[in-house]
C-alpha cells in the first residue's frame, strides 16, 4: 500500500510524517439483491462507485424483484431493488419503515426469433392475443395484416415468460390488464400470474434467461427489459400505443411515456397505458428499497452517498445503456426523500 509522506523542515531538521494507511476497519461493504430489469445499469453504477470511493464496495445480485423483496424483509441485505416497488402489506413487515426511491426508467420490449429477422409491428390486440394463447401461429391473419410485405412463416409461436416472481412480469401484466379486458379478468396483474396452460409457453428465470431462451428457440417471442434485448442483439417489435401509433423502444418513446407520470409522496407510480402519439406503451420506473432505520450509522451514510452518485454521475450512463434517465424534478424528489435513510 502506498503511504503519503509530508516533509517538514523545522529548525533545520527534516521530519517525515507518515499518513496512516486506510485499514480494513475503515472499509464498508453494502449488499443488495432484487430486480434483474436494471441489473446491467446497476452493475455499472456500483462498480464505478466502488472504484471512485475506494472504501465502499457494493455487491448486488440480480435475483428477481420477488427474491429481492424477500431478502429485504428478512434483513439479509442492506438494500434491494424491485420494478414492482413494494406493496403496503410488504412495507408493514419492515420495522422502522421503508424508503422507496425510483432510480431509473426503462422499457419492456417484445423480442422474437424469426427467419431473416424481419421488423415487426404488433397491434395491441395481437400481442395481448399471443400472450393469452389465442394467436398461436406467426402466419395468423392478424399478424399478417399488421405487417404487409413481410414473409411470415407458418410456424408455431413459442411464448417465453418468466419463471420467477418478477417486477418485469408485474409491469407487463399490469399493462396487458389495462389494454385487454380478457387478460384483466383472466391472468390479471402480478409478479407471478396464472399463464395459459400450453406446451408452447416456456418459463425461464430472470431477464437474461428469457433473452437466452428466445435466442435459442426458433419462433419464440418473449417480454424483457430493452437493455437485455439490445445487448443480446435480439429483434424488438414496434408496439401500437394508446394513440394508435407504432413506436420502437430505445428512442424518445420511453421518456415521453414517463413525462406524464405524477409521483405521489411515497414515490410509487406506474403508467399502465400512456397517452400521447410518441409514447412507448410499456414504460416504467424501477425502485431501490432502503431501510429508514439502519443499525449502522456509517452504512446509512454510505447508502446516502451511493444514492447521490446514482442521481448524478449514474444518470449519465442511463441512456447509453438503454435506460431512461430520471427527469430533473424526479431527481430532486428522490434526493430529498433519501435524507430519511438514517
Intrachain domains 27-106+282-340 and 107-259 with the same fold: yes
What does the domain layout of the chain look like in residue ranges? Answer: 27-106+282-340, 107-259
pLDDT of 87 over the 60 cut: yes
* Span 223-234, average pLDDT: 95
What is the spatial distance between Cα 302 and Cα 308, in angstroms, rounded to a whole number? 10
Strands 79-82 and 28-34: parallel
- The least confident of 4-8, 154-158, 162-166, 202-206 is 4-8
End-to-end CA distance of the chain: 33
- pLDDT at position 13 is 31
Q: Between the CA atoms of 226, 227, 231 and 237, what dihedral angle is there, to the nearest 10 degrees?
A: 10
Question: Is the pLDDT assigned to residue 8 strictly greater than 60?
Answer: no
The per-residue pLDDT for 22 is 37
| CA–CA separation, 314 and 308 (whole Å) | 9
121-122 vs 238-240, strand pairing mode = parallel
Cα gap 162→184, rounded to integer Å: 18
Distances (CA, A) of 158 to 64, 110, 116, 131, 315: 23, 13, 17, 10, 36
Q: pLDDT confidence of 260, banded at 50, 70, 90?
A: confident
Whether the per-residue pLDDT at 338 is higher than 90: the answer is: yes
- The answer to whether 146 and 121 are in contact (CB under 8 A) is yes
pLDDT, the chain, mean:
92
Looking at residue 99, its pLDDT comes to: 98
Instruction: Encode pLDDT of 89-137 as tens digits.
Output: 999 999 999 999 999 999 999 999 999 999 999 999 999 999 999 999 9
Supply the pLDDT for residue 332: 95
What is the C-alpha to C-alpha distance for residues 67 and 61, in angstroms, rounded to an integer? 10
- As a whole number, mean pLDDT of residues 7-19 equals 32
| Contact assessment for residue 245 and residue 183, using Cβ atoms and an 8 Å cutoff | no
CATH topology of domain 27-106+282-340: D-Maltodextrin-Binding Protein; domain 2 (3.40.190)
Cβ-based neighbour number of residue 230 at 10 Å: 18
The pLDDT assigned to 25 comes to 52
CA dist 164 and 142 (Å) reads 31
Mean pLDDT to the nearest integer, 129-158: 97
User: Span 107-259: which CATH code?
Assistant: 3.40.190.10
Asked whether residue 24 carries a pLDDT value surpassing 50, the answer given is no
Q: For residue 41, what pLDDT is reported?
A: 97
Query: Could you tell me what percent of the chain has a pLDDT over 90?
Result: 90
DSSP letter string, 265-309: TT-----SS--STT--SSEEEEEEEEESS-S-HHHHHHHHHHHHH
Give yes or no for residue 303 having a pLDDT over 80: yes
Amino acid at each position: 500500500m502506498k503511504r503519503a509522506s509530508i516533509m517538514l523542515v523545522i529548525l533545520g531538521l527534516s521530519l517525515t510524517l507518515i499518513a496512516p494507511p486506510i485499514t480494513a476497519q475503515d472499509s464498508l461493504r453494502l449488499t443488495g439483491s432484487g430486480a434483474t430489469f436494471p441489473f446491467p445499469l446497476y452493475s455499472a453504477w456500483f462498480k464505478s462507485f466502488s472504484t471512485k470511493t475506494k472504501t465502499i464496495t457494493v455487491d448486488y445480485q440480480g435475483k428477481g424483484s420477488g427474491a429481492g423483496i424477500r431478502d429485504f424483509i428478512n434483513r439479509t441485505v442492506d438494500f434491494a431493488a424491485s420494478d414492482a416497488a413494494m406493496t403496503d402489506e410488504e412495507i408493514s413487515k419492515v420495522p422502522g419503515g421503508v424508503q422507496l426511491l425510483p432510480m431509473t426508467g426503462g422499457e419492456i420490449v417484445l423480442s422474437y426469433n424469426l427467419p431473416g429477422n424481419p421488423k415487426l409491428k404488433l397491434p395491441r390486440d395481437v400481442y395481448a392475443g399471443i400472450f393469452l394463447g389465442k394467436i398461436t401461429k406467426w402466419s395468423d391473419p392478424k399478424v399478417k395484416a399488421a405487417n404487409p410485405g413481410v414473409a411470415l412463416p407458418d410456424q408455431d409461436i413459442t411464448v417465453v415468460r418468466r419463471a420467477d416472481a418478477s417486477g418485469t412480469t408485474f409491469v407487463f401484466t399490469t399493462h396487458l390488464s389495462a389494454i385487454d379486458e380478457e387478460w384483466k379478468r383472466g391472468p390479471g396483474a402480478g409478479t407471478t400470474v396464472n399463464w395459459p396452460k400450453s406446451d408452447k409457453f416456456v418459463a425461464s428465470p430472470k431477464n437474461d434467461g428469457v433473452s437466452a431462451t428466445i435466442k435459442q428457440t426458433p419462433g419464440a417471442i418473449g417480454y424483457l427489459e430493452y437493455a437485455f434485448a439490445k445487448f443480446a442483439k435480439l429483434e424488438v417489435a414496434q408496439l401500437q400505443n394508446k394513440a394508435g401509433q407504432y413506436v420502437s423502444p430505445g428512442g424518445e418513446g420511453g421518456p415521453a411515456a414517463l413525462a406524464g407520470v405524477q409521483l405521489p409522496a411515497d414515490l410509487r407510480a406506474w403508467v399502465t397505458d400512456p397517452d400521447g402519439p410518441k409514447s412507448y406503451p410499456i414504460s416504467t420506473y424501477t425502485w431501490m428499497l432502503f431501510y429508514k432505520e439502519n443499525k449502522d450509522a456509517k452504512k446509512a451514510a454510505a447508502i446516502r452517498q451511493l444514492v447521490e452518485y446514482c442521481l448524478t454521475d449514474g444518470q449519465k450512463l442511463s441512456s447509453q445503456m438503454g435506460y431512461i434517465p430520471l427527469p430533473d424534478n424526479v431527481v430532486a424528489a428522490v434526493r430529498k426523500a433519501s435524507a430519511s435513510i438514517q
